[in-house]
Copies of this chain bind each other. A is one copy, B any other.
Amino acid sequence: MKLKRTHNCGELTNNNNGETVRLSGWVENYRDHGGVAFIDLNDRWGTTQIVFHPDIAGEHHKIAHTLRSQDVISIEGKVSARPEGMANARLGTGEIEVYISDFELLNKSKTPPFEINHSGETNQEVLLKHRYLDLRSRKMQKNLIFRSELTNKIRNYFNDQQFVEIETPILTRATPEGARDYLVPSRTNPGKFFALPQSPQLFKQALMVSGYDRYFQIARCFRDEDLRADRQPEFTQVDIEMSFVDQEDVMSVTEGLMAGLMKDMFSKDLTLPLPRITYDQSMLEYGCDAPDLRFGLKIKDLSDVFVNTGFSVFKNAVKNGGAVRSINLKGAAEKLSRKDLDDMTPFAARFKAKGVAWIKMTAEGPQSPIVKFFSEEESAELYKRMEAETGDVLIFLADKEEVVCQSLAALRLDLGKKLGLIDENELNFTWVVDFPMFGKDHKARPTSLHHPFTAPKTEDLDRMEDDVFDVKTNAYDLVLNGCELGGGSIRIHRKDVQERVFRILGIDEEEARDKFGFLLDSLDYGAPPHGGLALGLDRMAMLFLKTPSLRDVIAFPKTQKATCMMTEAPGNVEEEQMEELFIASTVEDEE
């Protein structure tokens, strides 16, 4: 076989004119122009036009017309500048073509089940089953090569900053993230199971106790959850942990990474420090803890305005401890039809909202089914607060606070898109900080909002037991275009504080010992103050590439049922294998 290429298919230019070269790759686009045959030869680097001229190709000329798309060939030929006016500016190699003088067929291809560079409307199952062909598309090659470069830049950044890359186990114990674990039965420990890690959290904290000071890993993590479009059973996270640091140190290292990536990959200068918004402010102004700041449409609270209003929907919402909030859709009066406004109610109903009220500010005055219920003072205060002007549309939610937040957050995003307020080319970063330490479970008992190792803010330490839901943590999420890229926190390094937090969470001593015994022990032996962060690499690649699906940045993704269509994983196993592992299937044999 003649394999030794002199060049790849993406690098020949006029500078190579006259050189004899050998190329290998995949055939595409056979054309015949008056007895001269042309094909495009593809590889990862590009496309080169190959010419089979009867006077030069000799016996190989006959072969040209037998070639089919995706055949693999190796050719030798002379580089020739294309005739005046025939250059193809869309092609890196568009200045030249190669006149073939030697040829070898390395492998034939059957007709693929879809166009390699398909439009995206091809049946997903067929694409996933033949993933090795879909991965040959220009789009997927671009995406995976981008991801590879991204990964390398991230690693080099942390190496340059004296982070130590340390691999932590995949076969381990249940970790504290609280999602469902993947389990692995042990053959050598009958009846026992490994869990695949949901994160390296406990290990990276152990490494801080060990004095590694700055740890990083690009770590595979696993969650056996029901999958959405932006979830996969296994995912990759950029995982870091640092000692002798406060929140600003971790955020600053992360910002340095993002600024470097923006500069290297998009030639963009990121202004540092990145904006910070508190959790409380984000919930109030954007209705969520991952605000999309590429556009305005801020939410404003009007609850105090409508405490005693004649409009009972608003009044009752406030009286029952809920809220009345509004967004001013600046200048949208012309753009939104009556139907658009009415459709907001069923839209918000998905979040259990009973209705969406609106006021259209027209030249003839406010148009709305609800203004007639307001007092003059209420109207005046409302318009003032909302900075309402002719041409604006105000929309209102009045409900339990959670419903108001969720409905307005979703409406805001939807309207941002509809009103064309979002610059799709922008990459807008923000930090969300000062998270509450505890959330409430369905019985209103405290639960960890992050994980039980997150440290309370020092100033809140003394009132942790009394004002539990008011306690804030040094936790921080990095948000890009309204998606959480990742987050982290300063951890508890003192055993007494950790034990108090476990008590508040209703984790008794035995359970704490059983689940986190070594972590508790390690706090007794010189644990330094430490904190860290984890960023979703898959999601980062997806957002940077502005592609809608994680499948576009993962080589071999799984379906929503967690199957791999290509390998047909998961598969059947033999009875004996299960016996060796001390397990039995509870699924009835169908034979």
Contact = CB atoms under 8 A, between A and B. Distances in A.
B43 A211 contact: yes
B183 A164 contact: no
Interface in A179-204: 180-196, 202-203
A210 B107 contact: no
A566 interface: yes
Contact of A528 (B24, B180, B192, B203): B24
A493 B107 contact: yes
Interface string A43-83: 11000000000000000000000000011101000000000
B583 A107 contact: no
A571 to B, nearest CB: 5
A156 B88 CA distance: 35
Interface stretch (A94-102, A141-149, A292-300, A391-399): A141-149
A172 B527 contact: no
Interface in A507-558: 517-518, 521-529, 554-556, 558
Interface of A: 1, 3, 5, 8, 24-26, 42-44, 70-72, 74, 106-107, 109-110, 112, 129-133, 135-136, 140-141, 144-145, 147-148, 151-152, 155-156, 159, 164-174, 180-196, 202-203, 206-207, 209-213, 220, 222, 224, 233-234, 236, 243-246, 249, 458, 493-494, 517-518, 521-529, 554-556, 558, 561-564, 566-573, 577-587
B170 A132 contact: no
A183 B43 contact: no
Given A44-B213, A133-B210, 10 more contacts: A107-B529, A132-B522, A135-B206, A135-B212, A141-B210, A144-B166, A148-B166, A183-B573, A195-B569, A517-B568
Contacts of A192: 570-572
Contacts of A74: 244
Given A72-B526, A518-B567, A566-B518, A26 B211 contact: yes
B567 A188 contact: no
Copies in the complex: 2
B132 A518 contact: yes
7 contacts: A1-B529, A24-B528, A72-B529, A155-B155, A167-B554, A171-B182, A583-B584
Given A165-B151, A170-B220, A555-B207, A107 B527 contact: yes
A136 B210 contact: yes
A471 B191 CA distance: 45
A156 B172 CA distance: 29
Nearest to A172: B569
Minimum-distance CB pairs A-B, first 9? A191-B587, A135-B210, A109-B526, A192-B570, A70-B526, A186-B570, A173-B569, A132-B206, A148-B165
A184 B171 contact: no
A239 to B, nearest CB: 13
Given A136-B211, A234-B171, A525 B570 contact: no
A129 to B, nearest CB: 8
B524 A171 contact: no
Contacts of A5: 244
Contacts of A213: 8, 43-44
Contacts of A159: 148, 152
Nearest to A42: B211
Greatest chain B CB density within 10 A among A71, A136, A579 is at A136
A50 to B, nearest CB: 16
A88 to B, nearest CB: 21
